[in-house]
Every structure is written in structure tokens, then in C-alpha cells.
């Protein structure tokens, strides 16, 4: 941390009791810091990889966790409704869908760790399967400056 940055960070912590404002998923400086589109890869393995590569996943910082789903068009609203109960919102598709399905993202802000990531990955796979679709993978975004 540079001298000026360190001073501002200490001042912010003193004024806010150490709390940071919640991460805004609409920020324009967010970058993918970790991703997994391989069902066989563990979340812990993906997060280890994300912590070791650039841009780097910062374990202690909030991230936008995005689950990529492909569903029949008539099931998308139901998926958004069900996931919304856990704080997820619909995001724009990132990858083109396959098999004539609708591709989209369900996302929420959270501190990301292997256990919670695995739970959410499993939850999204179950949701997609119940609605006739597939959870193709997940990724997480953090501000580029924090990820360096």
C-alpha cells in the first residue's frame, strides 16, 4: 500500500469503524478474478487458482458471484423469482446459450469462500435441473484495483 493510499485507508477505517461500503455490481472496474466452468473442478481449487493468477482474487473482499445458467425461455422468470429469495438478481448473459435455451446470469454480492461457493454452485445446479436446464459454471468479479 503506498503512503498516500495507506493514509486514506486508515482515515476511512477510523471514520467508518473499518466497514467498507457494499460492493456495487454495476461498477465499471469489475473484472473476473476467478471462474470455473468444469463440473469436476472443486470451488477450493478454482479459488486457489484465482488467488495465484492476475487479476488476483482477494479473499477478504466482497465479490460479485455470478452463476451462468441455460434454461428454457419459459423457466427463466421462475428461476429469477426463486433465486431472488436468496438475494440473487438477473444479470446479462455472458456466454451464448446452446440447445435453443436462454442463457443468463444470476448474481449477488458476497464474501466468497470455498464452502459457500460450493453450496451456491450446488444450489444453482439443482435449480437449473428442476427447471429443465443447466448451470454451466460460475465466476466472480472484483474491482480491478483490488484484484492487482
Measured CA to CA, the distance from residue 125 to residue 50 in angstroms comes to 22
Residue 148 corresponds to which cell in the numbers above? 492487482
| Whole-structure pTM value | 0.83
pLDDT digits (tens, 9 = 90+) for 78-136: 999 999 999 999 998 777 777 789 999 999 999 999 999 999 999 999 999 999 999 99
Amino acid at each position: 500500500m503506498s503512503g498516500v493510499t495507506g493514509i486514506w485507508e486508515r482515515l476511512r477505517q477510523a471514520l467508518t469503524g473499518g466497514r467498507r461500503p457494499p460492493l456495487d455490481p454495476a461498477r465499471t472496474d469489475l473484472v473476473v478474478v476467478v471462474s470455473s466452468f468444469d463440473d469436476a473442478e472443486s470451488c477450493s481449487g478454482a479459488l486457489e487458482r484465482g488467488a495465484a493468477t492476475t487479476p488476483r482474487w482477494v479473499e477478504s473482499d466482497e465479490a460479485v458471484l455470478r452463476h451462468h445458467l441455460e434454461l428454457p425461455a419459459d423457466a427463466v422468470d421462475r428461476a429469477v423469482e426463486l433465486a431472488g429469495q436468496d438475494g440473487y438478481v438477473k444479470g446479462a448473459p455472458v456466454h451464448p446459450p446452446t440447445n435453443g435455451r436462454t442463457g443468463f446470469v444470476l448474481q449477488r454480492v458476497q464474501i466468497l469462500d470455498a464452502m459457500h461457493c460450493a453450496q451456491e454452485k450446488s444450489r444453482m445446479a439443482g435449480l437449473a435441473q428442476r427447471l429443465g436446464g443447466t448451470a454451466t459454471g460460475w465466476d466472480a468479479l472484483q474491482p480491478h484495483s483490488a484484484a492487482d
